[in-house]
Amino acid sequence: MLNIKILGPGCANCRKLEAVAREAASAANVQAEFDKVSDMKQIMRYDLLSTPGLVINDKLVSSGRIPTVAEVQSWLTA
């Protein structure tokens, strides 16, 4: 099972990113556990320049933008 973290303060973009990631996981038939990380100390551990950030299995794959469902799917299945 993959661990997916949404990094950010909980803004509208963070919620949108979570929705995109959940949709991608569902479409790719990937079992995933989702965590929202809003604590700035934890977020800074990932060298994030701007939120929202997407972390898959402790690897930062996207920051400062909302990737497409297809992009997230390709990261989940890589």
Active site residue 11: yes
Q: What three-state secondary structure class fits 17?
A: helix
CATH of the domain at 17: 3.40.30.10
List the domain range (segments joined by +) for residue 14: 2-77
pLDDT tens for residues 11-35? 999 999 999 999 999 999 999 999 9
Catalytic residue (one of 11, 19, 27, 40): 11
| Per-residue pLDDT at 78 | 87
Among residues 4, 6, 7, 14, which one is catalytic?
A: 14
Q: Is residue 33 a contact partner of residue 4, using CB atoms and an 8 Å limit? A: yes
pLDDT tier, 58 (very low <50, low <70, confident <90, very high otherwise): very high
For residue 56, indicate whether it is catalytic: no
Task: Indicate the number of domains in the chain.
Answer: 1
- How far apart (Å, rounded) are the C-alpha atoms in residues 17 and 23? 10
pTM > 0.85: yes or no: yes
